[in-house]
Amino acid sequence: MDRPTAPVPPPGCPAHQSGGRVPLHGPEFAADPQAYYSYLRHYGPTAPVELAPGVEATLVTDYATALQLLQDSGAFRKDARRWRDLNEGRVSPDSPVAPLLAYRPNAMFSDGAEHLRLRQAITDSMARVDSRRLGRSTEQVSTYLISQFGSRGSADLLGDYAKQLPLFVFNELFGCTADIGDRVVFGMTGMFDGVNAEQAVGVMFGAIGELVALKRARPGDDVPSWLMEHSSKLTDEELVHQIALLLVAGNEPLRNLIGNTLHRLLTHDAYAHQGGLIDEAMDDTLWENPPMQNLAPHYPTSDMEFAGQKLQAGDLVLVSFAAANTGPALTAARQAGSNRAHLAWSAGPHACPSKEPARQITVAAIENLLNKLPDVELAVPTESLTWRPGPFNRGLTALPAKFTPVRTASRPTPEARAEAPSHHEQGPTRGRGERGVWSQFLNWLTR
Ligand code: HEM
């Protein structure tokens, strides 16, 4: 297939300054990524992009081409130790994109039989999460968070709510004690906010190591214990890395799925009068503003031609879920009623294994918020909202909202109180000083 010649960037487009590669970083991209995707489509099904200064990649923007790549695990591999530009020193290990793209021994970066073994342990353990328990714990966390700001009549629904909620729900599912859970929250928050990221990663891995030791000694009704029981027989090191993967792969996109869906509900009048509005708004968000906009890094196993593009073994190739979902060819399929055919969860052997719990947490979190704050609305003009920079995740920096102040019935349910002591009995804070937000939540649960 003949590849079209590279399009000329519009005047002012930063592609002029990046050696013809279109930068997916910086404030212009964050302000309007869809304008960039429209432009990138002029290159054909794939386009040359820059993920951070000096980090080059090929981005697949076309839906059918994306599926072809995601399903061809013979020609494309996930193991980032194949990444030529990193191996040959053109990308520094200190690059801002390295923490997400560099190899770790987990399912996300594995191929073939090793991937199957790790992934099976993950899917089987996540399948043991009881949906009633998940619904109850999401509602409890949600009610607690609302009780912290409800009487103010205003809140940042991102920082005060969407960001915190998945962290607490995960701590509950993973059976984290007060001390361990506080450090997981500290580590995850530092990693995602980029504040002392290296220290944060150390704190998080340290806490997960302790969690693994604790669950080996005293297994519980939680995801780490189920991973340990699994016939894949994961070693302690493998356990630490799969638990870290679940936390990292789960928290940030969940925060953004809740945030982006709330944003949609608060900025589109169309949902106001529909039944089932949250599901509808979430599906529309997954199509048009997915939490992971560009990811699925893959590396060709040999020099090849792919969708008219010459690739060398070890080149970094990513999929733009956001561009593939919004391509003109897909609009017809979507209108024909296949409302879940989007790529927001990726596809193929590495597709998200946890979309059902992720959907359930998102819907329950938003439902409880809208029930408790029925007149919630945006507190600032839509145009003043800003989005976090970076090529991978798509999420707001803040979502300021206002509502009639409420005194939430902030008592936990009897079931929650009955379950809470299992966290507390293992949970001294070991003299580390001030209690963290997770300990405060556990105190609230049992007061
Ligand atoms: C309960 C919350 C979640 C958990 C525990 C979770 C877990 C995971 C795991 C373990 C993987 C790696 C699978 C593999 O490589 O075989 C993965 C992949 C993925 N997840 Fe999720 N996830 C969650 C929520 C989400 C959400 C909300 C989204 C966005 C809509 C999402 C989108 C994706 C995508 C696009 C991939 C493929 C990434 C890639 O190949 O680079 N996930 N997820």
**Got the DSSP string for 132-143?**
HHHHHHHHHHHH
Give the amino acid at 239.
Answer: L
- Across all residues in the chain, what is the average pLDDT? 90
Please indicate whether residue 134, judged by its CB atom, sits closer than 6 Å to ligand 1.
no
CA of 308 to the centre of ligand 1 (A): 29
Which atom from ligand 1 is nearest to the alpha carbon of 344? 30
Query: In the predicted model, is pLDDT for residue 432 greater than 60?
Result: no
Which residue's CA is the closest to the ligand 1 atom numbered 28? Answer: 253
Residue 377 host element (H or E): strand 377-378
Q: Average pLDDT for residues 104-126, to the nearest whole number?
A: 98
| pLDDT at position 420 | 55
| pLDDT at position 4 | 43
Please indicate whether residue 119, judged by its CB atom, sits closer than 6 Å to ligand 1.
yes
**Alpha-helix runs per DSSP H in 81-130:** 84-87, 98-101, 112-127
CA of 1 to the centre of ligand 1 (A): 33
Pairing of β 317-320 and β 55-60: parallel
Q: Average pLDDT for residues 243-247, to the nearest whole number?
A: 97
Q: What is the largest CA-CA distance in the chain?
A: 69
Please indicate whether residue 167, judged by its CB atom, sits closer than 6 Å to ligand 1.
no
Q: Average pLDDT for residues 328-342, to the nearest whole number?
A: 75
Please indicate whether residue 25, judged by its CB atom, sits closer than 6 Å to ligand 1.
no
| Alpha carbons 247 and 437: distance in angstroms, whole number | 17
| pLDDT at position 418 | 59
Which atom from ligand 1 is nearest to the alpha carbon of 110? 15
Please indicate whether residue 257, judged by its CB atom, sits closer than 6 Å to ligand 1.
yes
Q: With cut-offs at 50, 70 and 90, classify the pLDDT of residue 427.
A: very low
Residues 6+ apart with CB under 8 A from 425: none
| pLDDT at position 8 | 58
Superfamily of domain 15-446: Cytochrome P450 (1.10.630.10)
| pLDDT at position 433 | 47
Please indicate whether residue 366, judged by its CB atom, sits closer than 6 Å to ligand 1.
no
The answer to whether the beta carbons of residues 413 and 136 sit under 8 Å apart is yes
| pLDDT at position 434 | 59
* Both structure tokens of 296: 């699925």
| pLDDT at position 2 | 39
| pLDDT at position 419 | 57
DSSP-derived 3-state class of residue 440: helix
Reference 207, options 436, 440, 21; nearest CA is: 436
| Alpha carbons 365 and 383: distance in angstroms, whole number | 25
Lowest mean pLDDT among 203-207, 271-275, 401-405: 271-275
Residues 6+ apart with CB under 8 A from 8: none
Query: In the predicted model, is pLDDT for residue 280 greater than 60?
Result: yes
| pLDDT at position 80 | 98
- Choose the residue to mutate in 226, 232, 239, 354 for probing ligand 1, maximizing ligand atoms within 8 Å of C-beta: 354
Which atom from ligand 1 is nearest to the alpha carbon of 108? 15
Which atom from ligand 1 is nearest to the alpha carbon of 349? 16
Reference 286, options 384, 383, 394; nearest CA is: 394
Overall pTM > 0.95: no
DSSP-derived 3-state class of residue 111: coil
CA of 216 to the centre of ligand 1 (A): 26
Lowest mean pLDDT among 10-19, 34-43, 299-308, 422-431: 422-431
Q: Average pLDDT for residues 38-54, to the nearest whole number?
A: 96
| pLDDT at position 421 | 43
Lowest mean pLDDT among 17-26, 178-187, 190-199: 190-199
| Alpha carbons 434 and 438: distance in angstroms, whole number | 12
- % pLDDT > 70, the chain: 87
| Alpha carbons 62 and 308: distance in angstroms, whole number | 13
CA of 352 to the centre of ligand 1 (A): 4
Please indicate whether residue 347, judged by its CB atom, sits closer than 6 Å to ligand 1.
no
| pLDDT at position 370 | 95
In order of 113, 126, 224, 368, the CA distances from 119 in angstroms are: 10, 10, 14, 32
Which residue's CA is the closest to the ligand 1 atom numbered 19? Answer: 352
Which residue's CA is the closest to the ligand 1 atom numbered 6? Answer: 250
Lowest mean pLDDT among 110-119, 233-242, 418-427: 418-427
58-96 burial, b at 16+ Cβ within 10 Å, e below that, comes to: bbbbbbebbbbbbeebeebbbbbebbebbeeeebeeebb
In order of 269, 370, 388, the CA distances from 282 in angstroms are: 15, 14, 20
| pLDDT at position 341 | 86
The answer to whether the beta carbons of residues 53 and 26 sit under 8 Å apart is no
- % pLDDT > 90, the chain: 78
Which atom from ligand 1 is nearest to the alpha carbon of 361? 1
DSSP-derived 3-state class of residue 374: coil
Q: Average pLDDT for residues 424-428, to the nearest whole number?
A: 43
Q: With cut-offs at 50, 70 and 90, classify the pLDDT of residue 245.
A: very high
| pLDDT at position 144 | 96
| pLDDT at position 426 | 43
Reference 442, options 433, 434, 427; nearest CA is: 427
Q: Average pLDDT for residues 300-315, to the nearest whole number?
A: 97
What's the gap between Cα 280 and its chain centre?
20
The answer to whether the beta carbons of residues 437 and 185 sit under 8 Å apart is yes
Lowest mean pLDDT among 51-55, 192-196, 256-260: 192-196
CA of 101 to the centre of ligand 1 (A): 14
| Alpha carbons 372 and 146: distance in angstroms, whole number | 8
The C-alpha angle with vertex 26 and arms to 23 and 28, in degrees rounded to 5, equals: 85
Query: In the predicted model, is pLDDT for residue 404 greater than 70?
Result: yes
Residues 6+ apart with CB under 8 A from 102: 80, 83, 86, 93
Lowest mean pLDDT among 2-16, 44-58, 319-333: 2-16
Q: Average pLDDT for residues 55-81, to the nearest whole number?
A: 97
Which atom from ligand 1 is nearest to the alpha carbon of 126? 5
| pLDDT at position 10 | 57
Q: Average pLDDT for residues 42-60, to the nearest whole number?
A: 96
Q: Average pLDDT for residues 65-83, to the nearest whole number?
A: 97
Q: Average pLDDT for residues 24-47, to the nearest whole number?
A: 95
Reference 200, options 241, 156, 248; nearest CA is: 248
Please indicate whether residue 298, judged by its CB atom, sits closer than 6 Å to ligand 1.
no
Please indicate whether residue 412, judged by its CB atom, sits closer than 6 Å to ligand 1.
no
Query: In the predicted model, is pLDDT for residue 335 greater than 90?
Result: no
Please indicate whether residue 344, judged by its CB atom, sits closer than 6 Å to ligand 1.
yes
Q: Average pLDDT for residues 244-255, to the nearest whole number?
A: 96
Q: Where do the DSSP E strands lie in 115-270?
A: 154-156
Q: With cut-offs at 50, 70 and 90, classify the pLDDT of residue 14.
A: low
| pLDDT at position 7 | 62
Higher pLDDT, residue 235 or 18:
235
Higher pLDDT, residue 60 or 417:
60
CA of 108 to the centre of ligand 1 (A): 9
Which atom from ligand 1 is nearest to the alpha carbon of 254? 27
Reference 260, options 293, 232, 217; nearest CA is: 293
The secondary structure of 49-86 as a DSSP string is: EEEETTEEEEEE--HHHHHHHHH-TTTEE--GGG-HHH
The answer to whether the beta carbons of residues 203 and 182 sit under 8 Å apart is no
| Alpha carbons 243 and 390: distance in angstroms, whole number | 25
Which atom from ligand 1 is nearest to the alpha carbon of 245? 10
